[in-house]
Structure 1
Amino acid sequence: MKNKKQIEEQVFLCVMRLVTASIILVFFLIIWVIIQKGWRALSWEMISQEPQGGFYLGKGGGILNAIIGSLYLAFGSTFLAVLIGLPVALGMNVHWVRNKRWVNILRFLLDALWGVPSIVFGAFGFALMTYFHLRASLLAGIITVTLFIVPIFIRALDEVIRTIPGGLLEASYSLGATRTRTAYGVFLLQALPGFITALLLAFGRAIGDAASVLFTAGYTDHIPQTLQEPTATLPLAIFFQLSSPIAEVKERAYAAALILTGIILLTSIISRMVSKKFKKNIL
């Protein structure tokens, strides 16, 4: 029996190591491909300038409009997702903790929304725009992406909060704290590293998604000055450039992919550093 358990442990350990190595290999392979194909096209001009006439035909200019547009879209939608999702995630574990049936139903619905393809959210946003006679704009893109990432943020934060010991809730109540004070002063503090992870996950999905903004945010060669103007995004810039038959334009697409990957990696590194700093406050 002991030998059998040891064999099972060794088998699963080998599988775990194999899967981990595969993930690391795929990650570095993706980074290597976009660096190899996009490094030559990457330049300060590409990062600091808007597209000029004929940019997608191989002429001068850059993708500053797409970089700024993606940041506008990601930060705006993530901010709204936190405003909507944070009270819901805390409420599920503090205010409505005794209504387990309804909380489980809500978790099921959020999981279902998490699995819905982003193009469906884009189609829903486009239907709303058509109904209210709105045009593609930065605001429409932010609203659509917010709907897309809210379930992701809530469920990611919810799973972290569920790991907090239940005795902490009772201890807080016994000291006379209200539910709101317990939620934001105790549970949020304990779940702060997980909150940062959920925030990063939502931000990464927001800045990297193309389908949900294809019909809602529009596309333009200029940086939007108001919420009512259309905006370019890096994923759509990559898509349009890869669709070109011109080799130079395709190289620019890989350079844009390298910039997008760099933004996400930089955000991830910063969030890890901040998360480690706040772990000192965790019990």
Structure 2
Amino acid sequence: MDNTKRRLLSEKIAKGFMHLSGITVTASLFFIVGTILYKGLPYLNWEMVSQLPKGGFYIGKEGGILNAILGSLYLAGVATALSAFIGIPISLYLNIYLGTNSRVTQFSKLLFDVLYGVPSIVYGAVGFGIMVYFGIRASLLGGIITVTLLTIPIVVRTVDELIKTIPEDLKNVTLSLGTTRWELAKVMLRSIRAGLLTAILLAFGRAIGDVAGVLLTTGFSDNLPKYIDEPAATLPLAIFFQLSSPIPEVQGRAYASALVLTIIILIIVVCTHILQSKQKNRR
């Protein structure tokens, strides 16, 4: 077999594997979503998403998951805001003040890449250790601390990739006008504005879907937290607790809760794609 035929055969094999991988991933996605819809849709109603759990909710009686929905939104919203407040300046500092070729910058990016891939249960253990040290009980505050640590690497690395898309000519022209590095940072932030929202939405999506981290730190409550030091329910934990029940009614509600979480994530994904399209059109 000559080199041309060997290359064509290799290309066909590689193409076949790519098609097989695509079909497998797509089929898995449809299977998961289809299962959630099939098992959860019959139990999803206005009462479930608009009421707090009542007595006997976890044995199939009246009530809803409003506490878990709002608890997840509180937790993910505050944690995402904090991670953006911390992560965006870190990324700007590494790229503008230290420079992309700095050894500190390269090491920091490697460190954030590692932190990006660390399982959330590890962040839960770290957050739990912080809570024990400062005497914080399982609460919304504990969950916010843990999820903020979890999402900071997401924001830092996403913003770093966005900064790479900025033309070098823009940076050079801005500096040649006698601007300070802080003024350059503001110019760069304006040019990646849509991308910043994408980074924030990605962090929010990771935050609202986390279960291992909040399992150790947030606790669980059938009531809405009035203060930040009170336990709070989240959708992933509500799904976990309901799915552990042997009662079919409660298990169905678990799938309905998963459907609510899936819809929230779907909205985030759609918004992310819209913002990414706007970012590409501006280049």
Question: How far apart, in 1, do the equivalents of 2:143 and 2:65 lie?
Answer: 19
Question: How far apart, in 2, do the equivalents of 1:90 and 1:11 lie?
Answer: 44
Matches within 5 A, 1:1-283: 1-97=3-99, 100-185=102-187, 187-280=188-281, 282-283=282-283
TM-aligned CA deviation for residue 99 of structure 1: 5.0
Contact 1:149–1:206 (8 Å) recurs in 2: yes
Task: Please give the per-residue CA displacement for 1:178-209, whole angstroms capped at 9, x wherever unaligned.
Answer: 21222222x22333343233222211110000
Q: CA RMSD in A?
A: 1.8
TM-aligned CA deviation for residue 126 of structure 1: 1.3
TM-aligned CA deviation for residue 93 of structure 1: 1.8
Contact 1:57–1:246 (8 Å) recurs in 2: yes
TM-aligned CA deviation for residue 163 of structure 1: 3.3
What amino acid sits opposite 1:208 in the alignment?
G
Between the two proteins, what is the percent identity of the paired residues?
50
Segments of structure 1 that go 5 or more residues without pairing to the other structure are: none
Contact 1:45–1:61 (8 Å) recurs in 2: yes
Q: 1:17 to 1:175 in 2, by over 3 A?
A: farther
TM-score by length of 2: 0.92
Contact 2:53–2:62 (8 Å) recurs in 1: yes
Aligned residues: 281
Question: How far apart, in 2, do the equivalents of 1:3 and 1:75 lie?
Answer: 56
Q: 1:21 to 1:194 in 2, by over 3 A?
A: farther
TM-aligned CA deviation for residue 155 of structure 1: 1.2
Task: Please give the per-residue CA displacement for 1:125-179, whole angstroms capped at 9, x wherever unaligned.
Answer: 1112112112111122111100011012211221232233333321221122221
Q: 1:227 to 1:155 in 2, by over 3 A?
A: same
What amino acid sits opposite 1:145 in the alignment?
V
What amino acid sits opposite 2:220 in the alignment?
Y
Contact 1:192–1:275 (8 Å) recurs in 2: no
TM-aligned CA deviation for residue 259 of structure 1: 0.3
TM-aligned CA deviation for residue 279 of structure 1: 4.4
Contact 1:193–1:279 (8 Å) recurs in 2: no
Question: How far apart, in 2, do the equivalents of 1:30 and 1:109 lie?
Answer: 33
Question: How far apart, in 2, do the equivalents of 1:160 and 1:271 lie?
Answer: 14
Question: How far apart, in 2, do the equivalents of 1:24 and 1:85 lie?
Answer: 33
Q: 1:183 to 1:263 in 2, by over 3 A?
A: same
Contact 2:198–2:275 (8 Å) recurs in 1: no
Task: Please give the per-residue CA displacement for 1:224-273, whole angstroms capped at 9, x wherever unaligned.
Answer: 12212211000000000011111111111000000000001012212333
Segments of structure 2 that go 5 or more residues without pairing to the other structure are: none
Q: 1:191 to 1:11 in 2, by over 3 A?
A: farther
Query: For 1:40, what is the secondary structure of its paired residue?
Result: helix
What amino acid sits opposite 1:148 in the alignment?
L
Question: How far apart, in 1, do the equivalents of 2:72 and 2:205 lie?
Answer: 11
What amino acid sits opposite 2:117 in the alignment?
G
What amino acid sits opposite 2:215 in the alignment?
L
Contact 1:156–1:198 (8 Å) recurs in 2: yes
Query: For 1:215, what is the secondary structure of its paired residue?
Result: helix
Query: For 1:141, what is the secondary structure of its paired residue?
Result: helix
